[in-house]
Structure 1
Amino acid sequence: MLLGIDLGTGSVKVLLLSTDGAVVREASSPYSVKSPHSGWAETDPNEWWAAVAIATRATVQDQANQIQAIGLSGQMHGVVLSDLAGMPMRPAILWADTRSSAVLNAYRALDSTLLNQLANPITAGMAGASLLWLRQFEPEIYATARWMLQPKDWLRFHLTGEVATEPSDASATLLYNVLKDGWANDVLEALKLRSDGLARLIPSSSIAGYLTDDAAAHLGLPSGLPVVAGAGDTAAAALGSGLLEPGLVQLTVGSGAQIVTLRSHPTPDPHRQTHLYRSALPHQWYTLAAMQNAGLALEWVRGILGLSWAEVYQAAFAVASGCEGLTFLPYLTGERTPLLDPQARGAWVGLGLHHTQAHLMRAALEGVAFSLRQGLEAIAATGIEVRELQLAGGGTLEPQWQQLLADVLQVPLRPVAVASASARGAAILAGMGIEVVNEAIALPQNSTPPDAVIRPNSPETALEEAWQRYCSLYPALRQSVVGRE
């Protein structure tokens, strides 16, 4: 048995996988994301540690002695400052945090040869940008921290007592030379950022350490289990859902949404709207369109409207396409692809007395779908022909929502048969690390009967008009939002 642990934004998912690729059991446990100031997104890593134990014990139950190895996946871009023993010195700064927009000019001032090494757009929420903010605004903590780790790497430190990272997470920090595959030391020097707090790089499927006695007691597992390096959640999800070869394109919807396609060579986006990161497999990269506000925005709307998820779908899909002129912009935490604007903000626009709670909810679903269409267009602009999308993630299980996505994106959607793709990818990496499986065990889960493919309906006038409104609103509202901040 192989154990995959996926440290997500709002919860941890733990999955038990047999060596033939079958999911035996899975469980999750939530934790809080706090925003003490506008634009901030933080979590106390101690909450992660507590939640991992709850979810692991619920997953493993009486099969602890059958587990052979542990693999990790986790939310990307975050920063955990810790002391020598791994204790956090402040809350973790997460990917959705936009405070570092105040210091991005230091990146923009870099020589073009240095920027080209990074092969990525300069955006808030990346680890390098957050470290610049910490150095300026919390200099004592920044100077005295021993380690500057990504979330899953901090978790592995607590599991094993060993500090390491791997290319898929490191390449998403804006501190990594994507073209030469290693830390960008000359970029660190130019930014005057510390390099001594960064972890050593090891392959994603290599053994990073072994479960300590204390960690084993915390999780209810045998001590000494090998713990594999793992991967960032997007790379792990690609592996876990069978996205193994260049040419396929996958849409994953969770708190954020990602559109991913693999590449055999590191090919930066000339428009700098999409990201280029290392995959979980050797000598492979992926292009990523990353939209920050998918399930995150829908959960917020659901909460303020006081609806259950069953009520969300019942109400929203009783409303006609286009919501009778109502449009929702989902940019609650700024936006990455394609706007690259941490100051973007959400809005309902076009409200009238005839609009109801159901209209508000339907508009939110359409707005998220429109943001995904923008991401798909950015992927296509890099030269990728998108004939079909694999559809993954826990945020895409409702059939009516799937159909709306297909109708907005105007491509067939092929659902992937595993919901917890990142946790499954982490477990596969664990098996690869101890050489009991290879990546091919992801493939059987990826088969979908032809009648399960969601095919788009012919373009609908009301939906296309709503799309045009959506596209016009961000530039129209951008200046008024900036002027108030």
Structure 2
Amino acid sequence: MYLGIDLGTSGLRALMTDAVGKPVASAEAQYDVQTPHPGWSEQDPGDWITALDQAMAQLQGSPGYSDICGIAVAGHMHGAVLLDGFDQVLRPCILWNDTRSAAEAAELDAAEMVRDLSGNIVFPGFTAPKLLWVQRHEPEIFANTAKVLLPAAYLNLHLTGGHVADMSDSAGTSWLDVGARDWSEQLLEAGHMRRDQMPDLVEGSAAAGTLRPELAVRWGFGTDVTVAGGAGDNAAAACGTGVMAPGQGFVSLGTSGVVLTARDGFRPDPATAVHTFCHAIPDRWYQMGVMLSATDCMNWLGRITGQSPADLTAGLGEELQPPGPMTFMPYLSGERTPHNSASLRGGFQGLSIATTAEDLARAVMEGVCYGLRDCLEALRKTGAEIDSCLVIGGGSKSAYWVKLLATILNLPLQLPKDGEFGAALGAARLARLAVTGDDPAEVLTAPESAMTVAPDPLLRDGYEAGYAAFRKRAAELT
């Protein structure tokens, strides 16, 4: 039996699978994000430990629970957990969607060889600029920082007692030579950091350590439970959806939006604002375009109108309509791909006295899809081609939104059958690989498809014109 832990921004999910990867049981626990100032986003790492204990308590008694022999963690990327020499947390973790270090990010991004070695623009949400910000604004904490761990690596520390991180997660720090899959002395020096402050590196499918005896006793496990390197959340989702080879990809209509494809080599193109990261298995990489607000845009609209997203979109039905009269720019928290702007903000164009809440919801859905089209076009500029594409995330439950997305992307989208195929499953699969050494190609397979949603040929030209208008408006804003 294997355990995959998905450490998300708003909650932790634990998934048990059997020896052949079939899900057996799952549990969840929630926690909060703190925003003490505009643009700040922080979390207490102690809340993750509490959530893990709660999830494990829920799983106890599940069939096969005591036979768990491998564990892996998938975590939200880029977060900075600062530890002193006794592994005590010095301050709340600065999260991936925190934009306070925009100036530091721009400074690092302009430094010699940073883009060449890291393979990426230094985005404000990445880890390295966070530490420059701490150095300048919280110098005592910076001086006492002995280790910097990503969220998943912090859980690895809790599980094993060791400072270990995987390649896919570490690729989002701006300290890793992503092509060489090792910490870069030049990148560390640019960020005023040292190698001894970094965790040890392992591949996500390799063993990172053994579960601490006190946890094994408390949870009712054996004495030799392997903890794998794990993965960043999107790499883990790629493992769960079987996105391993060039041409394969997925679109995530989640809180943030992602268009991801696998690559068999290191082919960065930072100017596109595409992310180029190590995959969770050796000798593989992946690239993705990221928009910071996807379904979160609909959640925002729901909050200000006092209606649920389901209520806002109920009148649309399932039959795709032509483009609406308004354009929505989905930049509520800035944007990564393709604009790399923490200060960019969203808005509606084309409002009238006759505009209804449903009109606003329709415009939001279209604007999010246009933003994901931007991500797809940026990926294509790197030479990536996506032949088959899964659609996952909470927004994929809306038949209308999926039809709209397929038409705007001009790609057939495969909807997986109900079941497990996300980051928690990907983590459980990595745990299995670390224990058994099985062939990743036999383990990291795609889920069965429930249906394929094709672009609407009658509305394709209309939405192509809508995308052109969206791009024009984005150019005006940037």
TM-score, normalized by length of structure 1? 0.91
Is the contact between residue 253 and residue 294 of structure 2 (CA under 8 Å) also seen in structure 1?
Answer: yes
Is the contact between residue 77 and residue 127 of structure 1 (CA under 8 Å) also seen in structure 2?
Answer: yes
Is the contact between residue 86 and residue 154 of structure 1 (CA under 8 Å) also seen in structure 2?
Answer: no
Per-residue CA deviations over 1:89-134 (Å, capped at 9, x if unaligned) read: 21111111111112124313422x3431111112111001111111
SS of the residue corresponding to residue 434 of structure 1 reads: helix
1:224 Cα deviation after fit: 5.0
> 1:72-471 residue pairs with structure 2 within 5 A?
72-111=73-112, 113-216=113-216, 225-269=225-269, 271-317=271-317, 321=321, 324-417=324-417, 418-435=419-436, 437-442=438-443, 445-448=446-449, 452-458=451-457, 459-460=459-460, 462-471=462-471
Report the Cα distance in structure 2 between the residues aligned to 1:362 and 1:68, rounded to whole angstroms.
Answer: 48
Per-residue CA deviations over 1:370-394 (Å, capped at 9, x if unaligned) read: 1101001111111223343222334
- C-alpha change, 1:432 and 1:386, in structure 2 (3 Å) is closer
Q: Which residue of 1 is the match for residue 27 of structure 2?
A: 27
Aligned residue type for 1:287: Q
TM-score, normalized by length of structure 2? 0.92
SS of the residue corresponding to residue 196 of structure 1 reads: helix
SS of the residue corresponding to residue 15 of structure 1 reads: strand
Is the contact between residue 240 and residue 423 of structure 1 (CA under 8 Å) also seen in structure 2?
Answer: yes
1:84 Cα deviation after fit: 3.5
1:76 Cα deviation after fit: 0.9
Is the contact between residue 120 and residue 270 of structure 2 (CA under 8 Å) also seen in structure 1?
Answer: no
Aligned residue type for 1:40: W
Report the Cα distance in structure 1 between the residues aligned to 2:60 and 2:314, rounded to whole angstroms.
Answer: 36
Is the contact between residue 129 and residue 191 of structure 2 (CA under 8 Å) also seen in structure 1?
Answer: no
Per-residue CA deviations over 1:132-165 (Å, capped at 9, x if unaligned) read: 1111111111110222110100111112211111
Is the contact between residue 69 and residue 224 of structure 2 (CA under 8 Å) also seen in structure 1?
Answer: no
Is the contact between residue 164 and residue 201 of structure 2 (CA under 8 Å) also seen in structure 1?
Answer: yes
SS of the residue corresponding to residue 286 of structure 2 reads: strand
Aligned residue type for 1:289: G
Per-residue CA deviations over 1:155-183 (Å, capped at 9, x if unaligned) read: 11112211111111111111111122210
Q: Which residue of 1 is the match for residue 10 of structure 2?
A: 10
Aligned residue type for 2:73: L
- C-alpha change, 1:402 and 1:324, in structure 2 (3 Å) is closer
1:447 Cα deviation after fit: 3.3
1:318 Cα deviation after fit: 8.4
Report the Cα distance in structure 2 between the residues aligned to 1:292 and 1:433, rounded to whole angstroms.
Answer: 32
Report the Cα distance in structure 2 between the residues aligned to 1:110 and 1:141, rounded to whole angstroms.
Answer: 25
Is the contact between residue 431 and residue 438 of structure 1 (CA under 8 Å) also seen in structure 2?
Answer: no
Per-residue CA deviations over 1:422-463 (Å, capped at 9, x if unaligned) read: 1111101111111174424545553326xx111010135553
Aligned residue type for 1:448: S
Is the contact between residue 252 and residue 258 of structure 1 (CA under 8 Å) also seen in structure 2?
Answer: yes
SS of the residue corresponding to residue 39 of structure 2 reads: coil
Q: Which residue of 2 is the match for residue 483 of structure 1?
A: none
1:41 Cα deviation after fit: 1.4
Report the Cα distance in structure 2 between the residues aligned to 1:438 and 1:313, rounded to whole angstroms.
Answer: 44
- C-alpha change, 1:360 and 1:223, in structure 2 (3 Å) is farther
Report the Cα distance in structure 1 between the residues aligned to 2:10 and 2:40, rounded to whole angstroms.
Answer: 15
Residues 378-387 or 59-68, more deviating? 59-68
- C-alpha change, 1:211 and 1:395, in structure 2 (3 Å) is farther
Aligned residue type for 1:282: P
Aligned residue type for 2:395: G
Is the contact between residue 408 and residue 460 of structure 2 (CA under 8 Å) also seen in structure 1?
Answer: no
1:62 Cα deviation after fit: 3.1
Residues 45-54 or 277-286, more deviating? 45-54
- C-alpha change, 1:162 and 1:249, in structure 2 (3 Å) is same
Residues 385-394 or 120-129, more deviating? 385-394
- C-alpha change, 1:134 and 1:321, in structure 2 (3 Å) is farther
Per-residue CA deviations over 1:365-420 (Å, capped at 9, x if unaligned) read: 11111110100111111122334322233431222221111111111001234555
Q: Which residue of 2 is the match for residue 65 of structure 1?
A: 66
Aligned residue type for 1:174: S
Is the contact between residue 9 and residue 255 of structure 1 (CA under 8 Å) also seen in structure 2?
Answer: no
SS of the residue corresponding to residue 15 of structure 2 reads: strand
1:225 Cα deviation after fit: 2.4
Q: Which residue of 2 is the match for residue 56 of structure 1?
A: 56
Is the contact between residue 313 and residue 358 of structure 2 (CA under 8 Å) also seen in structure 1?
Answer: no
RMSD: 2.4
1:40 Cα deviation after fit: 1.3
Aligned residue type for 2:274: T
Residues 60-69 or 279-288, more deviating? 60-69
What 5-or-longer segments of structure 1 have no aligned partner? Answer: 479-485
- C-alpha change, 1:307 and 1:57, in structure 2 (3 Å) is farther
Aligned residue type for 1:133: W
Report the Cα distance in structure 2 between the residues aligned to 1:330 and 1:472, rounded to whole angstroms.
Answer: 14
Q: Which runs of 4+ in 1 moved over 6 A?
A: none
Report the Cα distance in structure 1 between the residues aligned to 2:40 and 2:223, rounded to whole angstroms.
Answer: 37
Is the contact between residue 394 and residue 419 of structure 1 (CA under 8 Å) also seen in structure 2?
Answer: no
Report the Cα distance in structure 1 between the residues aligned to 2:318 and 2:206, rounded to whole angstroms.
Answer: 51
SS of the residue corresponding to residue 97 of structure 1 reads: coil
SS of the residue corresponding to residue 358 of structure 2 reads: helix
Report the Cα distance in structure 1 between the residues aligned to 2:41 and 2:178, rounded to whole angstroms.
Answer: 27
Identity %: 33
